[in-house]
Amino acid sequence: MKQQGSLIKKLRTDRKISQAMLAEGISSRTTLSSFENRKTNLSSQTLFDYLDKMNITVHEFSLLLDSEATDQKRQLVQDFYTRYYDRTLTLDYLTSLEERYFETQNFFYYSLYIQGLLLLNRESFLKNQQAYSKEVELVKQYLFDIETWGRFELNLFSNLLFIFDQETISYYLDHGIKKILRYANDPFYANLLSVVILNGCAFASENKDSYLLNKFLLLSHPLPNTPLYFYLKIHQVLYQEIYSYLQSSQLNKEVLRNSLIVIEQAGYQNHNIDLKNLIYAVTSISI
């Protein structure tokens, strides 16, 4: 609340709006002053009304807050994924996340612990799922209990697709992910949707599951052809070709080569190699 009050004050003074002008028709001037200077609580609707009067969207306000100070959880998420992609995610680090969960009882920390544990031991999990039944059940129950997913739930789901069966994934695509499509033009959700769909396409391709692959591809079709979805769209053609192969055993190498060239020219050289390996694993054909 402290950061919000300070930012509202800055936005107001930058626009040469007095406290009385901003508060008029929304709240008392004293309420605004207390929020800005003494960091008292404020209802969400009052905050939204202040922002609307200054012609600032809630999303813009959120981005400005992030630029002012990155909160502890966001820093932790960044650190977690940096360690994962750099392959420096250790058991000691994961244990520290689990301990923080026990201290706070905040599922956020346990979700990172579970994601790390299962991602690092994916092959072991697939061979002996019973060994991780406690952790898996917690994730499944958590997601099942929440009707409207946010970024946290979407990331958790897309990172751990391999713990769900086909029917469950299909259900969540129809009843959870599709709700987010209404915000497709929002940059915040554009990145999120791209990650979820591409994770899903890769997962379905690895498992040669044409049904799920088609479900994820169908999510990408109504998305606009704008720069927001450039990364997704250059992959869409490739995964569509993999889907066609799974249906007919026919592969258009030229289409795949052109897609890989575009991906490489876009600066994703390492990812290009991963995609070639994926294509070979699915088709036994080198591109």
Domain ranges of the chain: 2-68, 71-145, 177-287
Three-state secondary-structure class, residue 103: helix
Give 65-123 pLDDT, tens digit per residue: 765 445 678 788 889 988 988 889 999 999 999 999 999 998 899 999 999 999 999 99
> What span, in angstroms and rounded, lies between the C-alpha atoms of 100 and 11?
36
Q: What pLDDT, on the 0 to 100 scale, is given for residue 97?
A: 94
The residue-averaged pLDDT of 21-36 equals: 94
> What span, in angstroms and rounded, lies between the C-alpha atoms of 118 and 159?
10
Q: What pLDDT, on the 0 to 100 scale, is given for residue 2?
A: 59
- Please say whether the dihedral angle defined by the alpha carbons of residues 22, 27, 30 and 33, taken in this order, is positive or negative: negative
> ∠ CA(73), CA(74), CA(78), 5° rounding?
115
The residue-averaged pLDDT of 192-197 equals: 92
User: What is 2-68's CATH number, 3.60.110.10, 3.40.50.1360, 1.10.260.40, 2.60.40.1530?
Assistant: 1.10.260.40
Q: Do the beta carbons of residue 163 and residue 139 sit within 8 Å?
A: yes
In the 8-state DSSP scheme, what is residue 147?
S
In the 8-state DSSP scheme, what is residue 132?
G
Q: What pLDDT, on the 0 to 100 scale, is given for residue 59?
A: 79
Buried b (16+ CB within 10 A) or exposed e, 260-276: bebbeeeebeeebeebe
Candidates 201, 154, 204; CA nearest to 178 is 154
